[in-house]
Copies of this chain bind each other. A is one copy, B any other.
Amino acid sequence: MGMTQKADRDQIRRQNRSVVLQALRRNGPQARIDLGRITRLSPATVTSITSDLISEGLVAGVEDDCQREREKGARGRPRSLLALHGPAARVLAVKLSVNTIEMALADYAGRLVGRDVAGFDSTSVTADGFSEILIDSLRAFIARTGGVAPSFIALASQGVVDDSAGTVAWSPAFAVRHVQIVGPLARAFGVPCLLSNDTNMIAEALHRSDPQRYGGTFAVLFVDYGVGMGLFINDRLFVGETGAAAEIGHANHIPGGALCRCGRRGCLEAYLGDYALLRHARGLDLQTPPACLPVGRETIRELIAAARAGDPGTLEAFHAGGTALGYAFARVIATLDPRRIVVTGAAADAYPLMEAAALTALEEGLVSDLRGSVEIEAIAWEEDLILRGTVARALHALDTEVFSETGYGNQREMLGG
């Protein structure tokens, strides 16, 4: 607690195994000599570690491209490429949202083995009962994709997640609170199980896709039907003490301001959520209850179209949303001094409509000396980003926590190596 832990011999090997696995995951198939350059381990050590990993079935040689890649006239012994061995393990990634369980299965090499969607009734499930529905859906999905048991399960859910309890504390996906997830799943499948906020998984996906650009300390603002935030701090996903960090949607923007879905006044979401934009666009009072507004999947797209067509009320709504967004930038920067802020989500396509107001608000909300050299960037929203991030996180957990453990040899057959 607080003090650095002691180190011992085993730890060295664990860490270096993990470093080699991560190097292969990040850079694709590599020759041993290049693994040495990437990891700064000596060639001798690379040979030692990779021969362990090969005999454990986690890594395998690639015969395929060996000669094709070779430049003409290259002399010397040709490099033999090593790659993560797909069949070594499978990971199951799950995304929970309203009425929907989205599932993806990937092998250890990161190839997608299958994906599917199951439905459930968000309004009727109970806190204890949902896990059975979930387990059944996952079992059926696994059976359909070959019946190979996963080695790791990672889940992403809308709403507020309680890390230590392994529950969804509060979410639009469930009418009830404290929905049990991790415990029942880990028992049912007998494998490690990780539950996260969905927006965090966007940050994870970005980080894995380009660790240089999306690294250090950066924030993702997810502007969609609601507003979420994903946070990387010092190159690691940050979830806070209970897993509820980065819940900026219901952080206050203006004390006593617009009425929010959560019943409070002035939340950021009450200016940026789908219902908030619609409410403003229609010229309704800011205290109009969100439940009175007809929002759906199409809402945001329709609003963007209306604004592009020049509808003044809708433009004004995006302007107000942009102002709220800009103050959110200012507060995040003042608190965390990040390297980058990424805006995405269904409403990210509308960022050009909000940008001017957002930058003005940022200037009004933060002394310029504090703005550091932060870059603000809107990226087009892809629905798959969340599930991709969840897969990436599961694979990373295998690399660093499961397969870093030395002596995985016996389990090879079980996993289908």
Binding site for B on A (CB under 8 A): 1-9, 11-12, 15-16, 18-19, 22-23, 26, 39-41, 160, 169-170, 177, 207, 211-212, 215-217, 229, 231, 233-235, 238-248, 250-256, 262, 264-266, 323, 327, 330-332, 334-339, 361, 364-367, 369-370, 372-374, 400
Contacts and interface: CB of A to CB of B under 8 A. Distances in A.
A386 B301 CA distance: 52
Given A3-B26, A11-B7, A323-B255, A367 B241 contact: no
Given A337-B239, A364-B265, A250 B12 contact: no
A254 B254 contact: yes
A6 B16 contact: yes
18 contacts: A2-B235, A4-B15, A160-B370, A169-B369, A217-B241, A233-B233, A239-B337, A240-B338, A240-B372, A243-B337, A245-B336, A247-B370, A250-B367, A251-B335, A255-B365, A264-B364, A264-B365, A335-B336
B366 A250 contact: yes
A124 B11 CA distance: 55
A160 B366 contact: no
A255 to B, nearest CB: 6
A252 B6 contact: no
A117 to B, nearest CB: 27
A252 B19 contact: no
A212 B365 CA distance: 36
B372 A242 contact: yes
Contact of A1 (B9, B211, B331, B366): B211
Contacts of A160: 369-370
B4 A22 contact: yes
A255 B3 contact: no
A367 B262 contact: yes
User: What is the oligomeric copy number?
Assistant: 2
> Which one of A6, A18, A374 has the greatest number of beta carbons of chain B within 10 Å?
A6
A374 B244 CA distance: 11
Contact of A251 (B23, B252, B330): B330
Contacts of A245: 217, 335-337
B242 A337 contact: yes
A199 to B, nearest CB: 13
Contacts of A241: 216-217, 337-339, 372-374
Nearest to A374: B241
A335 B6 contact: no
B41 A6 contact: yes
A241 B11 CA distance: 29
A247 to B, nearest CB: 5
A389 to B, nearest CB: 15
A170 B1 contact: no
B251 A366 contact: yes
